[in-house]
Homo-oligomer: A and B are copies of this chain.
Amino acid sequence: MSERTYTLVASCPDQVGVVARVSQFLAELGGWILETNFHAEPADAANPSGRFFMRLQLRADSITLPLVTLREQFAHAVAEPLQMQWRITDSAVKKRVVILVSKQEHCLYDLLARWQAGELDVEIPCVISNHQTLRGIVEWHGIPYFHVPVTPENKPEAFAEIRRIFDEAKGDVMVLARYMQILPPELCDAYAGQIINIHHSFLPSFVGARPYHQAWQRGVKLIGATCHYVTPELDQGPIIEQDVIRVDHTDTPDEMIRYGKDIEKAVLARGLRYHIEDRVLIHGARTIVFR
């Protein structure tokens, strides 16, 4: 886990020779590849020749160039000729994850335990909440806790404040760990691809409020949870990860809520990890997840 790595994530119009060009470039620098993923999406209106996606993870110590030079050379030799969207990240630079919570503790405890164990290898510059409920456990972990109440009247100010805190914390990703508030569209747009939510249903079923009650009414035999990027359309963003758990007629909505917590926290943790490790590429309404 502790070996330093560089991760190249890129996409470009599909054509013959992309893999060759990238791998040739890296081989000439002596780059030792630890993990490789390639995927081609079929042609559509925006991508008449299809679109090619890739993720390569390298041992940082196999490349003698400084990272800034590596990036310059890659841009010049590979990315520009192939019209790539790309980035190269460095595992030594930890992502900064700002967590938003309300009153429910299950996702927060789960993330804190993973962070404490070093399993979730990120910085948590702060936690933001519309309640005081979880201040104690957060501060015990040495993490600053910001209380930003949200009311029907103060929404614009409250979310401006959240945005300010996030920016000041130099956040890379905002995690809605059962935050229970709907973010304003302009916030969703400003941080597109950076805000991750856990929704307590198997989307696209049971959008919106009280999904477990909806599930009980409909009599489904499995309930689910969905980790997705937040977009201005409620619960419609690109899905990163999902899972389900079996229920039956003996389970009340309250028991579904209890079971559901277990998949919510597991699905959020998996989805967040994929994002943190640069394994998720957004392509329209869908995601490529290189596990």
Question: What residues of chain A have their CB less than 8 Å away from a CB belonging to chain B?
Answer: 1, 16-17, 19-21, 23-24, 26-28, 30-36, 38-42, 62, 104-106, 109-110, 112-114, 116-117, 119, 136-137, 140, 202-206, 217-222, 224, 238-244, 248-250, 252, 254, 258, 261-262, 266, 269, 285-289, 291
A23 and B36 alpha carbons, distance in the complex (Å): 13
Closest chain B CB from A142 CB (angstroms): 11
For residue A205, which residues in chain B have a CB less than 8 angstroms away from its CB? 202-205
A126 and B182 alpha carbons, distance in the complex (Å): 40
**Residue A113 contacts which of B35, B105, B119, B249 (CB distance < 8 angstroms)?**
B105
Identical copies in the complex: 4
- B220–A242 touching, CB < 8 Å: yes
- A117–B104 touching, CB < 8 Å: yes
**Residue A136 contacts which of B17, B24, B140, B203 (CB distance < 8 angstroms)?**
B140
**Residue A286 contacts which of B112, B204, B219 (CB distance < 8 angstroms)?**
B219
For residue A62, which residues in chain B have a CB less than 8 angstroms away from its CB? 16
Interface centre among A19, A41, A217 (most CB of B within 10 A): A19
Closest to A15 in B: B32
**A19-B23, A105-B117, A254-B1 known; A242 and B222 CB under 8 Å?**
yes
**Residue A16 contacts which of B30, B116, B119 (CB distance < 8 angstroms)?**
B30
Closest to A261 in B: B119
A287 and B62 alpha carbons, distance in the complex (Å): 28
Interface centre among A20, A217, A266 (most CB of B within 10 A): A20
- A238–B222 touching, CB < 8 Å: no
Closest chain B CB from A244 CB (angstroms): 6
**A119-B258, A254-B1 known; A27 and B31 CB under 8 Å?**
no
Closest chain B CB from A56 CB (angstroms): 9
